[in-house]
């Protein structure tokens, strides 16, 4: 059975702090909800190649989305999108703020 074509967004890690960042169409954002959606990896390929030259973002790659929820299809990317581990890794007082997520499936 042919594999279903999934929409994708483009992601990388920020040079300075290593944060996960997503391509908005105009720049990089730490908010996955602002990511520009491509209909397929093929559609995203030219931009992926262009962004690969961006020295401020490391390791650019495409992340597949669940077409029903628009959230990352893989758990790895869902955890990455949450920008912190999936468990309470710090005392509550020290938890960093996160906002504007594309919630996990």
Partner 1 sequence: MYRYDEFDAQIVRERVAEFRAQVARRIDGSLTEEEFKPLRLMNGLYLQLHAYMLRVAIPYGTLSGRQMRQLAMIAERWDRGYGHFTTRQNIQFNWPVLRDVPDMLDALAEVEMHAIQTSGNCIRNTTSDPFAGAATDEIEDPRITCELIRQWSTLHPEFTFLGRKFKIAVTAASQDRAAIRVHDIGIEIVRNAAGETGYRVLVGGGQGRTPMIAKELRGFLPREDLLPYLEAALRVYNLMGRRDNKYKARIKILVHEMGIERYREMVEAEFASGDRGAAPGTEELARIAAYFAPPALTPRPVDGVHAARAAHPDFATWVDQNGHPHRQDDHLSVTVSLKPVGGAPGDATSEQMRVLAEAAERFSQDEMRVTHEQNIVLPHVAKADLFALWSLLRTQGLDAANRGLVTDIIACPGLDYCALATARSIPVAQAISTRFSDLKRQREIGPLAIKISGCINACGHHHVGHIGILGLDKAGVESYQITLGGEPANDASLGERTGPGFAYDEVPEVIETLVTTYLSLRQTGETFLQTYRRVGMPPFKEALYADAA
**Distance (Å) of CA 48 to CA 20, 34, 51, 58, 83:** 16, 17, 5, 12, 22
- For partner 1, the binding residue among 15, 39, 50, 103 (CB under 8 A) is 15
Listed ranges 10-18, 21-29, 38-46: which one lies at the site for partner 1 (CB under 8 A): 10-18
What is the DSSP track for 10-28? EEEEETTT--EEEE-SSSE
- For partner 1, the binding residue among 32, 73, 102, 104 (CB under 8 A) is 73
Report the C-alpha gap between 66 and 5 in whole angstroms: 10
Residue 80 is a binding residue for partner 1 (CB under 8 A): yes
Residue 89 is a binding residue for partner 1 (CB under 8 A): yes
Residue ranges that bind partner 1, judged by CB under 8 A: 13, 15-20, 55, 58-59, 73-76, 79-80, 83-87, 89-91, 94, 96
């Amino acid at each position: 059975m042919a594999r279903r074509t999934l929409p994708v967004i483009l992601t990388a890690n920020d040079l300075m702090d290593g944060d996960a960042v997503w391509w908005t169409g105009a720049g990089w954002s730490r908010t996955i909800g602002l990511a520009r959606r491509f209909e397929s990896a093929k559609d995203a390929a030219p931009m992926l190649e262009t962004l690969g030259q961006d020295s401020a973002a490391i390791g650019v790659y495409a992340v597949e989305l669940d077409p029903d929820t628009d959230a990352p299809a893989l758990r790895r990317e869902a955890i990455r999108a949450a920008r912190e581990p999936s468990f309470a890794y710090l005392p509550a007082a020290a938890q960093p703020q996160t906002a504007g997520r594309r919630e996990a499936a």
